[in-house]
Amino acid sequence: MNEQIKELAAKAGFVLWEDEEWNPGSVIDWSSEYDQQLEQFAKLLIEQAIQAVEFKTNTHHAHTTFDLDLIRTTIGNSVSAIRKQFGMDQ
């Protein structure tokens, strides 16, 4: 499993298998009910995607302040649309 996904799953509260002898070969112990953890995991994943849009979008191609404002507005609108789509309006 991707280490970032594994880290988000742990942060969301999933119980992860370690090096136990009886480990069935999976990363997450699926013997528990994870409704709340799954919702938290989804929120964390969405926040990671939003952060990628907000902080990793290249604005170096803005030649004027108008261009830069347009890029920032587009980023803000994209973030708002993502939050709204998943009921995470702030």
User: Rounded to a whole number, what is the distance in angstroms from the first to the last CA of the chain?
Assistant: 31
The torsion of the CA quartet 50, 28, 35, 37, rounded to 10 degrees, works out to -50
Domain locations in the chain as residue ranges? 3-85
Model pTM score: 0.71
Six-digit token pair at 4? 């970032």
How much of the chain exceeds pLDDT 70, in percent? 98
Map tokens 């990793």 to a residue: 56
pLDDT in tens, 33-60: 888 999 999 999 999 999 988 888 877 7
Q: How far is CA 3 from CA 6, 10, 79, in A?
A: 5, 10, 25
Q: What residue type is 1 in one-letter code?
A: M
